[in-house]
C-alpha cells in the first residue's frame, strides 16, 4: 500500500527482525512492545511472551534485577525506581495491614520515615529498637510480628550488624528478614547467603556508582520477589529502561571501585584517628584488613566550627547522598536523618558535629590532606 508523506514519515522503515548480536544489552527505550495479532497478544498472558508494557517489565530492568541477584547469591530480583521503592516493595511482600515490624533504631532516615509514618497510615506498625543487643530485639517481637528489618552496615555510624544472630532469631520465631545491604555491597557481604529472606540496595549508590542514576533493587526468595515485583508494577515504582541500563553499566566496575574506595576509606579513618580535633572516628576497622566499606563518619571536636569545616573542603563536594567515585561529605543531622525526632538522633549520637564521608577513588594522600587542611582551617582560636 502506497503511503502518503504524513504516514511515511512514521512508518518508512520495517523493523529488523534478525537477531543482532550486540556485545552490550541495547537500551529498550520503549513504553510498550508490539504483537503480530490477538493470538500473539493472548500468548503473553498465557506465559508465552516476555514483554507487554515497560511498567510491567523491560529487558533492561530485568537485567538489573537479575544481575544484583546473582551477586547476592539469590535466585531472583526486581529493580525499582529508588532504594526506598525497593524497601517498600520488599516490606509489602511480607507484611499487610495489622502486621508488625521490628526495625533497627539506627536505620537510614528515609527508611525510618517510611516505616514510622507512611506504613503506619496503612495499618502496619513498626517498633524501633537497638539491634546491638539481640535480646532487646526478641523482647520487641509481638504475636503479629512478621518482619525484622536492619542494615548490614548502618547509616551513618557504621555499626556492623550481627546478621547470623538476626537470622537465627527470625528462624526461632518464624519471621522474615529484610536487610539493606547498600553500604556493604555484595563485594563485602551477602546477607541472602547468611539466611536473610530479602536484600535491598539503593542502586543509586554503589551499584550504579557514578551519581547519575536513581534506582533500587530487591532480591531474595522467589516467592517473595514475585510479590515484590507485583508491588513495583501495581504501585508504579518501576525504574526507566535508560536508568536501568546506566545502572547495569556502572555495576560492571563495582569490584574495581569498591576495592579502591574501601582501601582509601581505611587509610583516611586511620589518619583521622590520630587527629586531636576529631572526637571520634566511626569505621569498622576489624572486619577486614583491606578495609570494610567506603564510608567513614567522624565526630568533630567541640573546638571545630562545623560550618567552617564544610566551607574549607576545597575539591571535596558537599552532597546529601553518597557512593560516587568522587569523595564527598554530608551532614546526617540535616539531611539523611532529618526525619528522625531530635531525641532519637541524640540517643543514637547523631549530633551537629557528626560528618559522613563517602570516600572516592582519588589518591589516598590527597583525600587525607583535604580533610586535615579543612579541620585545621576550622579550629576555633
Indicate whether this model's pTM tops 0.85: yes
* Cβ-contact 356, 329 below 8 angstroms: yes
Domain extents for the chain?
A: 55-251, 255-378
Quick check: helix, strand or coil at residue 267?
A: helix
Walk along the chain (381 residues) and give the pLDDT tens digit of each residue.
Answer: 788 888 888 887 776 777 788 999 999 999 999 999 999 999 999 999 889 999 999 999 999 999 999 999 999 999 999 999 999 999 999 999 999 999 999 999 999 999 999 999 999 999 999 999 999 999 999 999 999 999 999 999 999 999 999 999 999 999 999 999 999 999 999 999 999 999 999 999 999 999 999 999 999 999 999 999 999 999 999 999 999 999 999 999 999 999 999 999 999 999 999 999 999 999 999 887 778 999 999 999 999 999 999 999 999 999 999 999 999 999 999 998 988 889 988 999 999 999 999 999 999 999 999 999 999 999 997
User: What is the rounded (10 degree) CA torsion for 83, 89, 95, 97?
Assistant: 100
Q: Residue 11, class by beta-carbon neighbours within 10 Å (0-12 exposed, 13-18 middle, 19+ buried)?
A: exposed
Q: Tell me yes or no: is domain 55-251 CATH 3.55.50.30.
A: no
Cα-only R_g, the chain? 23
> Hey, which residues does 328 pair with through a beta bridge?
317, 358
161-176 b/e (C-beta count within 10 Å ≥ 16 → b): bebeebbebbeeeebb
* Cβ-contact 234, 221 below 8 angstroms: no
255-378: which CATH architecture? Alpha-Beta Complex (3.90)
DSSP letter, residue 224? H
DSSP letter, residue 287? G
Other CB atoms within 10 Å distance of the CB of residue 178: 27
* Cβ-contact 200, 227 below 8 angstroms: no
Quick check: helix, strand or coil at residue 86?
A: helix
DSSP string, 307-341: HHHHHT-TTSEE-SS--SSS-EEE-GGGTTTTTS-
Amino acid at each position: 500500500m502506497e503511503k502518503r508523506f504524513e504516514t511515511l514519515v512514521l512508518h518508512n522503515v520495517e523493523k529488523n527482525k534478525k537477531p543482532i548480536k550486540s556485545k552490550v544489552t541495547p537500551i529498550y527505550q520503549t513504553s510498550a512492545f508490539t504483537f503480530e495479532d490477538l493470538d500473539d497478544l493472548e500468548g503473553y498472558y498465557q506465559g508465552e511472551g516476555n514483554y507487554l508494557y515497560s511498567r510491567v517489565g523491560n529487558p533492561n530492568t530485568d537485567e538489573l534485577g537479575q544481575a544484583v541477584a546473582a551477586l547476592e547469591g539469590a535466585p531472583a530480583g526486581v529493580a525499582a525506581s529508588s532504594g526506598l521503592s525497593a524497601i517498600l516493595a520488599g516490606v509489602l511482600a511480607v507484611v499487610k495491614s495489622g502486621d508488625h515490624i521490628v526495625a533497627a533504631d539506627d536505620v537510614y532516615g528515609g527508611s525510618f520515615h517510611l516505616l514510622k509514618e507512611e506504613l503506619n497510615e496503612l495499618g502496619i506498625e513498626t517498633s524501633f529498637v537497638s539491634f546491638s543487643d539481640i535480646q532487646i530485639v526478641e523482647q520487641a517481637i509481638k504475636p503479629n510480628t512478621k518482619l525484622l528489618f536492619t542494615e548490614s552496615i548502618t547509616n551513618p555510624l557504621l555499626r556492623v550488624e550481627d546478621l547470623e544472630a538476626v537470622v537465627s532469631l527470625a528462624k526461632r520465631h518464624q519471621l522474615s528478614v529484610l536487610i539493606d545491604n547498600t553500604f556493604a555491597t555484595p563485594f563485602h557481604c551477602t546477607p541472602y547467603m547468611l539466611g536473610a529472606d530479602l536484600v535491598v540496595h539503593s542502586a543509586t549508590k554503589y551499584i550504579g556508582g557514578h551519581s547519575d542514576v536513581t534506582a533500587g533493587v530487591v532480591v531474595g526468595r522467589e516467592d517473595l520477589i514475585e510479590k515484590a515485583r507485583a508491588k513495583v508494577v501495581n504501585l508504579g515504582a518501576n525504574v526507566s529502561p535508560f536508568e536501568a541500563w546506566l545502572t547495569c553499566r556502572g555495576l560492571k566496575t563495582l569490584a574495581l571501585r569498591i576495592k579502591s574506595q574501601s582501601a582509601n576509606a581505611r587509610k583516611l579513618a586511620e589518619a583521622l584517628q590520630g587527629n586531636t580535633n576529631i572526637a571520634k572516628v566511626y569505621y569498622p576497622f576489624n572486619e577486614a584488613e583491606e578495609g570494610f566499606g567506603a564510608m567513614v563518619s567522624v565526630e568533630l571536636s567541640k573546638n571545630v566550627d562545623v560550618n567552617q569545616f564544610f566551607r574549607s573542603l576545597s575539591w571535596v563536594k558537599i552532597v546529601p547522598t553518597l557512593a560516587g567515585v568522587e569523595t564527598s561529605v554530608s551532614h546526617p543531622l540535616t539531611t539523611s536523618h532529618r526525619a528522625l525526632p531530635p531525641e532519637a538522633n541524640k540517643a543514637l549520637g547523631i549530633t551537629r558535629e557528626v560528618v559522613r564521608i563517602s570516600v572516592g577513588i582519588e589518591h589516598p594522600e590527597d583525600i587525607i590532606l583535604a580533610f586535615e587542611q579543612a579541620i585545621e582551617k576550622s579550629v576555633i582560636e
